[in-house]
Amino acid sequence: MSTVALRRYRIWMLFLTFINGLVMIAFYGYSFYAWSTRQPFSWELRPTTNTYEIIGIAPRQPQPRPYGFYWQEWANIVTAGVHFITYIVALVSPYNLPKYLRASLVAIPVGLSLYVNIDYIVFVMGFTSIRSPLSCMATNITCHLTWSSRFMAIITGAFVLVEIVLTLRWGPLRPKEDIVEDDKSLVAPAPPQSAQLHPDHDTLRDNGAGINTQPQMTQV
């Protein structure tokens, strides 16, 4: 039962990581479109030297920039792709990695992604000049895509952590063929049923073939 539940959970994770990948593609695709048309880059935060001592963390402020990715953005892009491919392989491939090795390989990118996105949200929420940093105007597509990509990455990462715990508890996912064989072995084979004899017909036929029960007349 645990293997079946783990397989169902990974099917759900495949769907969730697919949606997360679509959001990432929409966000970075639109950011490239904004760059190519010279639209303002309100979603970008770059380091500055005049706010470091005030904020106390890596100082950043909204600025336009040449189109390119920082390591935080690469962390989100690579993690989204790795998670989607991981669950495809987990459901299709007949081979399984040791559960502790697999947990480590999956936990490293998800931990990095959670750190990047939570740090981004905490930093933006720390701006005292922004009254409602999470609110976007209806026409500000960049703002909607920014927050959607950040929160979607955090939600996906949380579900991935749950999947890691379930894998460590229940072990690696087994192929469906093994599950079917185990189910067959649990069913006891039915004992061979003896042929039922008809009380009137078969009994008389057996008596006729064996012992003659009719009285014999003695010839004088």
All residue ranges of the chain with pLDDT < 70 are 1, 38-68, 127-134, 137-139, 172-220
**CA separation for the pair 34, 44 (Å, rounded):** 12
Q: Encoding tokens for residue 33?
A: 């479109």
- Domain assignments of the chain as residue spans, ordered by start: 2-185
Q: Which residue has the tokens 């003659």?
A: 212
Is 80 in contact with 109 (CB distance < 8 Å)? no
User: Shortest CA distance to 108 belongs to which of 75, 139, 131, 81?
Assistant: 75
Q: Quick one: pLDDT at residue 98? A: 83
Q: Quick one: pLDDT at residue 6? A: 84
pLDDT in tens, 74-133: 888 899 999 999 899 888 887 777 888 888 888 999 999 999 999 888 887 776 555 565
pTM, two decimals, is: 0.63
Q: Quick one: pLDDT at residue 200? A: 52
Q: Quick one: pLDDT at residue 129? A: 57
